[in-house]
Structure 1
């Protein structure tokens, strides 16, 4: 029975319900955290207690529910969200690259803000609300595709559900539901993987092509699709390859149009990439230099507060352990089946890239790794006869996710 036939309405409802429950718990965590802990720019207040009390001072907290801070739409709008919404409503910054300028929004790729703009023309909602709705819809489609990928790869339905559960527990998974590109990129990545492995190459190229104008690692999706075609069709050139070559060329059009637009407004064809190092403190570097730097000089926080070294190091190490352990257990199988090796390499690149853009600190690596689909599949596979492995990662993800969720809604920078 094919994967498509096993995707029943009951399973779709189950996936949707899983998202609703996880997002509701996320909102509950954020609401309690907003009222129980101090915000980034607000010092925790204490007040003197009544005579005869056990303690002299007590933290000042809301007494009645009506006194608590209730979430509003713009509690979900943080950090990069402002740039995406500005692009959606006002377009890219109109300044030349060779002119003095502050950090320009050219580094944010266009597909996600373009979708907010287009849906805004139809529904007339607040752009931030449109972004939230789209992100959660993309998350739903993403989980459907990931579920199908699990079935494609021989996992049971129980294991496929465990993969989805892990994905929603991952630290910083709240970014799947706020106006960020994570859920859109995950959806396009999963679609590219699924359709490529199903020999639906045209659909795979479309998804991979669109992912290139969503986030930088989109080119890895294109490489995966091309690699899959080579393994499926063989390395001897035939007439069918002309069609795949045409698809490959056409898949470069979205990025080409984006870069031509950058050339038009900035005078620099590669403005998004040059601006990264010029004003956004992103520098292409030797992979894992920041991780090794942490081992040599451990830190809790950076001077500007944009990174918590301990959290980033713990989560990164947990991810590395999975990837190394899976290779040690399955390397013989992977080298006998090059498709398995391609999938492993694809996931490895999704991990390596986040550790190649900042030489000093581990800023953002936790969030960047959340779209690595093989990671979740490998955790569940390794835990097939080692249930404690799965429990460890579930508990680790939950504990860190709670911290990051509370910090996000309270405005702490390190969650970026």
Structure 2
């Protein structure tokens, strides 16, 4: 009976597909599951199946059937997209966009259909890799405009932007040509002003935790590549530092600050990095007082608490690798710098292999720096007083650490 699904000369039987999918996922006998698997494999490989995707999505009562249809559609987008007539490409693009907007605009459907929406988001990003910007130049403006109409829709727009950034900057190798990757990166950079304004607006105005977390996650994906002016010549950094002490957003904000801490492009923004570190240390002493036994706090803490200490290790090691020399040159930073090294020393005692690896990597880096600085000690004036004290403190920290 299920073979009827492979007959494309007649209307597609969505109910039969649902029954076949149900049999495959365990409601039938072993033989029925094997037969269902064979039919579904043939259906997935059939070159015309993608033409039934919209029918399946509109009429199926089985979520697994919808995921099956989206899997078929994803394969077409990846491998046959440019061979499709423009009318069919536009039809797919518009349908996927409309369904996402419809489901994301309503808070109830957005929560209930979250897995389905996430898969649709992935499909949309796959389309964007082909269509944007040349054949879909208005995508970013349209997305930002739509985001302002509903908080749940805005939250999903953040998810789409995060996925797009990850696809272009992290996962694109092997799937797109270098010229296409370059084109997409240029487009993201040139249109980031709209995204930047939307993110700042959400973080400044919204009281919805899910939306704020989604925005911070999106910013985390962006911060490694956006033009530095958007970080240091706008309220973005100030906003992240304001969000950082709030428990619900602490880890995501710290991940964003770590991305900034790892940036290093000459000395033009040195004063901004010093300001970042100074404010951060004031806030950190409230969140995690210096007298805290960090290994004990880690051992007894929740998953969020442990993640915070892990993220804190990444922040300090990233910042010190890139900017410790800037902190050493300003006497007013001495106490904060030494305190940061003490925090990192405490974190190094945490009984967790990954945390220790992060700290050890920095201590190994610092040993190399200290070794090189010994050659300058014949001329002590070449090192600032703060630098000398930091190096002395670092020597003591390292000796204490490795004697444990």
TM-score bracket for this pair, using the shorter chain length: under 0.3
Higher normalized contact order (CA 8 Å, seq sep 6+, divided by chain length)? 1
Question: What TM-score, normalized by structure 1, do the two folds share?
Answer: 0.24
* Structure with greater helix share of residues: 2
Greater C-alpha radius of gyration = 2
